[in-house]
Amino acid sequence: METEEDLTILSKSELVEAYRRVKESRDKVFSVVSHDLRSPFSGLLGLSEMLVSDAARMTAEELQEYLSAMNDSLKNTYALLENLFEWGQIEREKYVRTLEQIPLQIIIDELLELLEVQRSEKDVTVLRLFDRDQLIETNSRMVEFVLKNFISNAIKFSESGSRLEIGCSDDGKEVYVRDFGVGIKSENIEKLFSMTASWRSQGTNGEGGTGLGLLAANRYAESFGGKIRVESAPGEGSTFTLILQEDPV
């Protein structure tokens, strides 16, 4: 039988755990803002200053090169800001916790359209290994955020001309994205979802990243009673699976 003292101890334990989680979250965000957000802005400032002072003497090819570099940096920075915003929403639970029956085909169509530029730059072929009428019961915002991270990372770590597969279990409870790229060592898989351990890897075209997107995706999935499973091996590619839950917790 629980005593009042037991309940007090439990309450204190929960408070300590909540404080630890908030501190880890704050430290992670500060790290991202201080390094990953500051660095691209420094590069953008340097490029813009060079254009202001030397644009008149540059050839069309040189101008195009500088503008392309600025565009790439801006896209990466915007993606980071999106992840930071979503992270904040998740940590403060500022989202609607509803479930609905959603056609998986529509979600994938929208995400691939959004990621078309990234996909076409590497000429990656996307295979859809699920029925066109496949339904999944989930929260639309959560599943879109998680699968966007899966697909974007799959392209990022794929070689040019490669392929990736998007599939779903027959019962609609698991959705996966499989690539055949560089893969991940087993000791680094756990670090993907760790607030304290840091592990980063460049994409096949030198693309950078903070890992914040996957961290946020994992928190998002957990908030709806789901989880993310990762299967990978160096040189063989990776499979990221979103395991759904019928009811939010």
Instruction: Return the CATH fold of 100-243.
Output: Heat Shock Protein 90 (3.30.565)
- Position 205 scores a pLDDT of 84
Taking a C-beta distance cutoff of 8 angstroms, is the pair 216, 83 a contact? Answer: yes
**Cβ count near 243 (within 10 Å):** 15
Task: Please name which of 68, 11, 20 lies closest in space to residue 44, comparing C-alpha atoms.
Answer: 68
The sign of the torsion formed by the CA atoms of 207, 92, 25, 231 equals negative
pLDDT in tens, 209-228: 667 788 888 888 988 889 99
Taking a C-beta distance cutoff of 8 angstroms, is the pair 150, 113 a contact? Answer: no
Q: Would you kindly state where each structural domain of the chain is located, as residue ranges?
A: 4-91, 100-243
CATH top class, domain 4-91: mainly alpha
Percent over 90 (pLDDT), the chain:
38
What whole-number distance in Å separates Cα of residue 26 and Cα of residue 195?
Answer: 10
- Position 249 scores a pLDDT of 45
- Position 14 scores a pLDDT of 65
Q: 214 or 108: which carries more pLDDT confidence?
A: 108
Residues 6+ apart with CB under 8 A from 215: 28, 87, 192, 193, 195
Say yes or no to pLDDT of 28 above 70.
Answer: no
Percent over 70 (pLDDT), the chain:
73
Task: Please name which of 246, 210, 208 lies closest in space to residue 225, comparing C-alpha atoms.
Answer: 246
